Amino acid sequence: MTYEFILVESQFQPHISLIRLNRPKELNALNLQLMQEIKHALYELDNNEDVRCIIITGNEKAFAAGADIKQMESKTAIDMLKIDQFETWDQIRKTKKPVIAAVSGFCLGGGCELAMTCDMIVASETAKFGQPEIKLAIMPGAGGTQRLTRAVGKALAMEMVLTGKFISAQEAFDSGLINRVVPEEIYLDEAVKLAKEIAQQSPIAIRLAKESVLKAFDSGLQEGLFFERKNFYMCFASEDQKEGMNAFVEKRKPEFKGK
């Protein structure tokens, strides 16, 4: 598939892929095609054995300023139902490999929801996060009321969702929404640094660990602990576990093969 609104480098760095949203004039507004392209690219990269971590980014001015308002403006509820964008978003969420959002500039509405669907967020000091849908007389529809609330707590989430106010990268960091805030010149490098740390671990253990952390969002403690336990046992079925522990004992660096 050739992409019109994203750029994909599957080997941006060894084992690390980059998806760049590429509608700069529209501040990377997420139209339907762009979302389909992200879904498709993530699926391909998720099934590429050479890839161990994926970064999604935009440009300095915008990660994404939200879903494409011009495309949504005239839609009816039934149009929205028929388009069923949730299938696309659900597929994105199901990516098994770790996905890092590298965010600079506007990260709003669906853009913020896309970043929150990723596993970690690295932001530039210039990033602005917000759920301004309320100003359009709608509300977040791709997880914004749920993921934001779980990340930053009720007080701030309620204020952001009900007033549409933006928060700075520093506020986002202080409230637990993002992992890092760094100068604009190095936000992508910083995301790559984080991706490299992940890429050098066992891909099998990474997959099981990611799955387990995500389980904490939609299960009670007992169910989550049970799920974690099964995935923990599963790690011992991998060659990587033997390699990891053997390397420790032999005082050498492990070489993980994803087997």
Write out the residues near ligand DAK by the rule CB under 6 A: 26-27, 29, 65-70, 80, 85-86, 89, 106, 108-110, 113, 132-133, 136, 141-142
Q: Which of 120/142 has CB closer to ligand DAK?
A: 142
Concerning whether 110 is annotated as a catalytic residue, the answer is yes
Identified catalytic residue from 41, 62, 64, 67: 67
Give me the least distance between CB of 94 and ligand DAK, in Å please.
15
Which one, of 55, 44, 8, 48, lies nearest residue 203 by Cα? 48
Concerning whether 159 is annotated as a catalytic residue, the answer is no
Give me the least distance between CB of 99 and ligand DAK, in Å please.
17
Q: Are 40 and 8 in contact (CB under 8 A)?
A: no
Host H or E run for residue 54:
strand 53-57
Q: Are 58 and 28 in contact (CB under 8 A)?
A: yes
Phi-psi region of 230 (alpha: psi -120 to 50; beta: other; left: phi over 0): alpha
**C-alpha pair distances (Å), 137 with each of 46, 95, 103, 133, 165:** 36, 31, 26, 7, 14
Give me the least distance between CB of 245 and ligand DAK, in Å please.
43
Identified catalytic residue from 37, 133, 190, 228: 133
Concerning whether 67 is annotated as a catalytic residue, the answer is yes
Question: What is the side-by-side order of every strand in the sheet holding 99-103?
Answer: 6-13, 16-21, 53-57, 99-103, 120-124, 180-182
Q: Give the length of the chain.
A: 259
Q: Which of 131/202 has CB closer to ligand DAK?
A: 131
Q: Which of 107/191 has CB closer to ligand DAK?
A: 107
Identified catalytic residue from 37, 113, 190, 228: 113
Q: Which of 177/198 has CB closer to ligand DAK?
A: 177
Give me the least distance between CB of 141 and ligand DAK, in Å please.
4
Concerning whether 44 is annotated as a catalytic residue, the answer is no
Give me the least distance between CB of 102 and ligand DAK, in Å please.
18
Q: Which of 5/106 has CB closer to ligand DAK?
A: 106
Strand partners, 182: 124
Phi-psi region of 176 (alpha: psi -120 to 50; beta: other; left: phi over 0): left
The residues assigned a catalytic role are: 67, 110, 113, 133
